[in-house]
């Protein structure tokens, strides 16, 4: 029986999309007397078909975690104490308003973390908060992650969110760099059950090829794996492009009419011959040529790169060259290739005039201390500490974090720890008292996942197949809980000078009325009437679905989608396999794919200059494991059990040369004073000269309250990584391939 709200009388089964990672699996949650008794994959889900990973089960532990915050905390006499919502918001108004009045808007920064993207109440309202705050100091996990791909997509296709994804169900040659979907369950590519889909690809005669400095879990299920020296992907990719031109393998097919800049690309990659890059990559020239030939020869092929290709100093170049390869081989926008999903709601590349647009720009302002350009309205997360610690006009003195734990997730974590401790005022919207939020003066507890309704705002635009799925709240809202969108609107009200007592429901009405007036013009009254009866994110969702490419257009297309229809479909609505979208998807001023954006061509000379850089003693890379997720799931017993996960993985030969045995502590040093110690684990899956430590650990700080995580705290990788290293174009942090020294 599928029910909409838990009844006390008998067990009920509820459909819920898992918000823990980008795979967005549909789950069935069984509830008895208000308690979760069982979680399993929803067989009837049109998109995930019953798949679940170990984290999905952890939603029960998350809900029941005694350490999860359920009441606001306000710092009084130096300690965080339980408070009412009114007290908490009044404290924020009392402290924040005069501070901003005195020091200006830029004195208040925002730090937005990963879970924002997984909750519609957060994602749809943090943009409102950012606008109300009006500060240029907006930081987010995007510059620790995918900003290079967004920038390259923006420059090539005209929209920050036009990121093509592999059409894996029809692909027969998938070349994957810097991604490990067997552990991560996919990223910038929503693809539940990657294992099953890779198996099907191979069963129909297709090939999966993995390029990674570690022979990963994904490499284990692939046809071929090649080690690459960390950070060398730009050279490999440029040499593959070079090979396509040299061997006259360029065949963009029906894309030919929609490309600008082909000759410029050919000339720009001329110096990157396979022979010239082979040593830098650690891949033989003949192998590089074969990779290019195989891609060109595949009927339905695709290159896909993910975080390993973004979090390096040439992140934007790598992200660009991946799609250059897809374009030149005719695999972009072609079935089985790299395709643009068409999301039912919220996708910027389904709005406005099809086929042409304004494109993207960066650098509309820059950071105060380092002068780094703004990208997508944000400044690099790695600059947050210096903006707080450097005195002078425009210094950041106050901070609001929303679902963000930069002390563990951002390079220079120790500096951030120190910087946060010195802030004049800090607010955190979060579910834990953790390494970051322990510095807050007010903590506003986020909504329990199972007490929230859900629709994925971001991920349908990155999905292997088009779909629309909605989950109502599984459990009734706990007494004293406040939905996150209302928390954020209270902060909007305070920032706008409306005060802590402002009526957030009225404010929501006003903001929506303004949105509708902008979008619908003369039709605004009718649109608002059609949305009556809804509020908050669900109203925005209904509007987006109805306005969207499959929508009912507020009655003009009665067969189209609206929220009622999506909500009534158990397991969601399947909208079919990905379809070609060029030229309609393009939003460049030229109406073409810009294959050779000037800023990227210019950056290639930086790559050329780095071609012969010597290898460091050791290159440090990261690692993800299925039972972990960034920094915040280590407190859930079902995931925390099992072997120690925060280990320094290295090749047995490297360990022997240093006199290190498995289990012994190794010291990893970036520079004097910047080091961590971690127990060594040995594996010949590591490329010699490369070591790997997962991020998100280091749960040993006084004042945090993560009782399970604290039992095996691990160490903070980002305490050693270098906050001064970034991709200059996107501002993205360098998290991979950082040169370090290892000692016993």
Of the candidate spans 6-14, 20-28, 425-433, 506-514, the one that interacts with ligand SF4 by CB under 6 A turns out to be: 20-28
339 - beta bridge partners?
Answer: 165
114 binds ligand MGD (CB under 6 A): yes
Q: Which of 148, 154, 261, 308 binds ligand MGD (CB under 6 A)?
A: 308
118 binds ligand SF4 (CB under 6 A): no
Q: Under rule CB under 6 A, which residues in 181-240 are in contact with ligand SF4?
A: 185, 192
- Over the window 691 to 710, marking each residue x when it contacts ligand SF4 by CB under 6 A and - when it does not, the resulting string is --------------------
Of the candidate spans 17-25, 329-337, 408-416, 503-511, the one that interacts with ligand SF4 by CB under 6 A turns out to be: 17-25
Of these partners, ligand SF4, ligand MGD, Mo ion, none, which one is at the site of residue 736 (CB under 5 to 8 Å by kind)? ligand MGD
| SS3 per-residue string spanning 286-335 | HHHHHHHHHHHHCCCEEEEECHHHHCCCCHHHHHHHHHHHHHHCCCECCC
Q: Which of 12, 15, 16, 18 binds ligand SF4 (CB under 6 A)?
A: 18
| Whether 508 contacts 536, CB under 8 Å | yes
Distances in Å between the Cα of 135 and the Cα atoms of 286, 343, 368, 485, 492 are 51, 30, 12, 20, 13
Smallest distance, Å, CB 98 to ligand MGD? 26
| Whether 172 contacts 197, CB under 8 Å | no
174 binds ligand MGD (CB under 6 A): no
Of the candidate spans 305-313, 349-357, 369-377, 574-582, the one that interacts with ligand MGD by CB under 6 A turns out to be: 305-313
Smallest distance, Å, CB 267 to ligand SF4? 43
16 binds ligand MGD (CB under 6 A): no
Smallest distance, Å, CB 94 to ligand MGD? 22
572 binds ligand MGD (CB under 6 A): no
Of the candidate spans 139-147, 278-286, 632-640, 698-706, the one that interacts with Mo ion by CB under 5 A turns out to be: 139-147
Q: What is the DSSP letter of 535?
A: -
119 binds ligand MGD (CB under 6 A): yes
Give the DSSP letter string of 44-108.
T-TTTTT---HHHHHHHHHHH-TTS--S-EEEETTEEEE--HHHHHHHHHHHHHHHHHHH-GGGE
Distance CA 216, CA 628 (A): 16
Distance CA 387, CA 419 (A): 9
Q: Which of 145, 217, 508, 654 binds Mo ion (CB under 5 A)?
A: 145
Please name the residues in contact with 605: beta carbons below 8 A apart, sequence gap of 6 or more: none
Q: Which of 23, 201, 278, 681 binds ligand SF4 (CB under 6 A)?
A: 23
Smallest distance, Å, CB 142 to Mo ion? 9
46 binds ligand SF4 (CB under 6 A): no
Q: Under rule CB under 6 A, which residues in 47-66 are in contact with ligand SF4?
A: 52-53, 55-56
Task: Count the residues in the chain.
Answer: 744
Distance CA 345, CA 466 (A): 11
Of the candidate spans 6-14, 226-234, 560-568, 664-672, the one that interacts with ligand MGD by CB under 6 A turns out to be: 226-234
Distance CA 114, CA 97 (A): 27
For residue 380, what are its two tokens?
């690099």
In three-state secondary structure terms, 529 is helix
622 binds ligand MGD (CB under 6 A): yes
406 binds ligand MGD (CB under 6 A): yes
| Whether 560 contacts 573, CB under 8 Å | no
Smallest distance, Å, CB 307 to Mo ion? 7
Smallest distance, Å, CB 356 to ligand MGD? 31
Distance CA 612, CA 148 (A): 23
Of these partners, ligand MGD, ligand SF4, Mo ion, none, which one is at the site of residue 308 (CB under 5 to 8 Å by kind)? ligand MGD
Query: CA nearest 37: which of 54, 2, 13, 1?
Result: 13
Q: Is the backbone of residue 448 left (phi > 0), alpha (psi -120 to 50) or beta?
A: beta
Q: Which of 20, 100, 321, 327 binds ligand SF4 (CB under 6 A)?
A: 20
Number of residues near ligand MGD (by CB under 6 A):
64
Of these partners, Mo ion, ligand SF4, ligand MGD, none, which one is at the site of residue 52 (CB under 5 to 8 Å by kind)? ligand SF4
Smallest distance, Å, CB 639 to ligand SF4? 10
Of these partners, ligand MGD, Mo ion, ligand SF4, none, which one is at the site of residue 18 (CB under 5 to 8 Å by kind)? ligand SF4
Q: Which of 129, 133, 144, 440 binds ligand MGD (CB under 6 A)?
A: 144
Give the DSSP H or E segment for 531: helix 524-531
Give the DSSP letter string of 597-630.
-HHHHHHHHHHHHHTTPPPPSEEEE----TT--T
695 binds ligand MGD (CB under 6 A): yes
Of these partners, ligand SF4, Mo ion, ligand MGD, none, which one is at the site of residue 621 (CB under 5 to 8 Å by kind)? ligand MGD
For residue 450, what are its two tokens?
């199972």
Please name the residues in contact with 581: beta carbons below 8 A apart, sequence gap of 6 or more: 333, 339, 340, 342
Distance CA 224, CA 493 (A): 55
Q: Which of 696, 698, 731, 739 binds ligand MGD (CB under 6 A)?
A: 696
Q: Which of 326, 334, 349, 409 binds ligand MGD (CB under 6 A)?
A: 409
Smallest distance, Å, CB 197 to ligand SF4? 13
Smallest distance, Å, CB 551 to ligand SF4? 26
Q: Which of 624, 634, 645, 699 binds ligand MGD (CB under 6 A)?
A: 624
For residue 65, what are its two tokens?
């975690």
Distances in Å between the Cα of 694 and the Cα atoms of 72, 385, 740 are 31, 22, 15
Please name the residues in contact with 284: beta carbons below 8 A apart, sequence gap of 6 or more: 278
Query: CA nearest 298: which of 346, 276, 255, 330?
Result: 330
**Could you list the residues that contact Mo ion (CB under 5 A)?**
145
**Could you list the residues that contact ligand SF4 (CB under 6 A)?**
18, 20-21, 23-25, 52-53, 55-56, 185, 192
**Could you list the residues that contact ligand MGD (CB under 6 A)?**
21-22, 113-115, 119, 141, 144-145, 177-181, 183-185, 187, 211-214, 216, 228, 230-231, 233, 306-309, 312, 403-406, 409, 429-432, 434, 436, 446, 449, 484, 621-622, 624-626, 628-632, 695-696, 717-718, 721, 735-737
């Amino acid at each position: 029986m599928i029910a909409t709200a838990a009844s006390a009388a008998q067990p009920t089964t509820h459909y819920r999309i898992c918000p823990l990672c980008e795979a967005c699996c549909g789950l069935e949650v069984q509830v008895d007397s208000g308690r979760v008794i069982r979680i399993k994959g929803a067989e009837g889900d049109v998109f995930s078909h019953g798949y679940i990973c170990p984290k999905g089960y952890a939603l029960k532990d998350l809900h029941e975690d005694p350490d999860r915050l359920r009441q606001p905390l306000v710092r009084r006499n130096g300690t965080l104490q339980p408070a009412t919502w009114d007290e908490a918001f009044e404290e924020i108004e009392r402290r924040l308003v005069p501070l901003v009045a005195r020091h200006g808007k830029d004195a208040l920064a925002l730090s937005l973390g990963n879970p924002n993207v997984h909750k519609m109440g957060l994602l749809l309202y943090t943009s409102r908060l950012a606008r109300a705050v009006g500060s240029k100091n907006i930081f987010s996990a995007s510059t620790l992650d995918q900003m290079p791909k967004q920038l390259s997509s923006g420059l090539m296709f005209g929209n920050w969110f036009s990121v093509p994804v592999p059409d894996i169900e029809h692909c027969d040659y998938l070349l994957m760099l810097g991604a490990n979907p067997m552990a991560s369950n996919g990223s910038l590519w929503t693809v539940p059950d990657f294992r099953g889909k890779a198996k099907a690809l191979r069963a129909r005669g297709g090939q999966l090829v993995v390029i990674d400095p570690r022979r990963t879990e994904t490499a284990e299920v692939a046809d071929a794996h090649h080690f690459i020296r960390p950070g060398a992907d730009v050279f490999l990719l440029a040499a593959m492009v070079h090979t396509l031109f040299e061997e006259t393998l360029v065949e963009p097919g029906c894309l030919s009419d929609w490309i600008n800049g082909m000759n410029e690309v050919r000339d720009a990659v001329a110096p990157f011959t396979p022979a010239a890059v082979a040593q830098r990559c650690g891949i033989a020239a003949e192998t590089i040529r074969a990779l290019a030939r195989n891609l060109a020869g595949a009927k339905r092929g695709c290159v896909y790169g993910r975080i390993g290709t973004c979090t390096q100093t040439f992140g934007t170049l790598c992200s660009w060259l991946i799609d250059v390869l897809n374009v030149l081989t005719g695999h972009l926008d072609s079935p089985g290739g790299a395709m643009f999903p068409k999301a039912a709601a919220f996708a910027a590349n389904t709005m406005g005039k099809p086929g042409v647009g304004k494109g993207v720009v960066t650098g509309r302002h820059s950071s105060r201390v380092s002068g780094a350009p703004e990208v997508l309205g944000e400044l690099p997360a790695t600059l947050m500490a210096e903006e707080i610690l450097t005195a002078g006009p425009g210094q950041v003195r106050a901070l609001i974090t929303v679902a963000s734990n930069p002390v563990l997730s951002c390079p220079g974590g120790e500096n951030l720890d120190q910087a946060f401790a010195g802030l004049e005022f800090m607010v955190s919207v979060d579910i834990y008292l953790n390494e970051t939020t322990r510095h807050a003066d007010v903590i506003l507890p986020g909504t329990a996942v199972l007490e929230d309704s859900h629709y994925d705002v971001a991920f349908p635009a990155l999905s292997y197949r088009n779909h629309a799925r909605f989950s109502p709240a599984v459990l009734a809202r706990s007494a004293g809980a406040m939905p996150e969108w209302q928390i954020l609107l209270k902060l909007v009200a305070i920032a706008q000078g409306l005060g802590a007592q402002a009526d957030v429901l009225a404010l929501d009405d006003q903001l929506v009325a303004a949105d509708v007036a902008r979008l619908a013009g003369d039709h605004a009254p009718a649109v608002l009437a059609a949305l009556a009866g809804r509020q908050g994110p669900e109203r925005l969702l209904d509007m987006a679905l109805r306005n969207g490419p499959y929508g009912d257009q507020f009655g003009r297309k009665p067969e189209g989608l609206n929220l009622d229809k999506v909500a009534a479909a158990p397991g969601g609505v399947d909208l079919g396999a990905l379809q070609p979208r060029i030229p309609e998807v393009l939003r460049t001023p030229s109406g073409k794919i810009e294959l050779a954006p000037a800023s990227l061509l210019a950056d290639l000379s930086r790559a050329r200059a780095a071609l012969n850089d010597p290898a460091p003693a050791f290159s440090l890379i990261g690692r993800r494991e299925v039972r972990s997720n960034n920094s915040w799931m280590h407190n859930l017993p079902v995931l925390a059990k099992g072997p120690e996960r925060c280990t320094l993985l290295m090749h047995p030969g490297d360990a022997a040369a240093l006199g290190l045995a498995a289990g012994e502590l190794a010291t990893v040093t970036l520079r004097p004073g910047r080091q961590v110690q971690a127990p060594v684990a040995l594996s010949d899956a590591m490329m010699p000269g490369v070591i790997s430590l997962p991020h998100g650990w280091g749960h040993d700080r006084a004042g945090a309250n993560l009782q399970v995580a604290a039992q095996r705290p691990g160490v903070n990788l980002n305490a050693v990584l270098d906050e001064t290293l970034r991709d200059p174009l996107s501002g993205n942090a360098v998290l991979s391939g950082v040169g370090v020294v290892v000692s016993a």
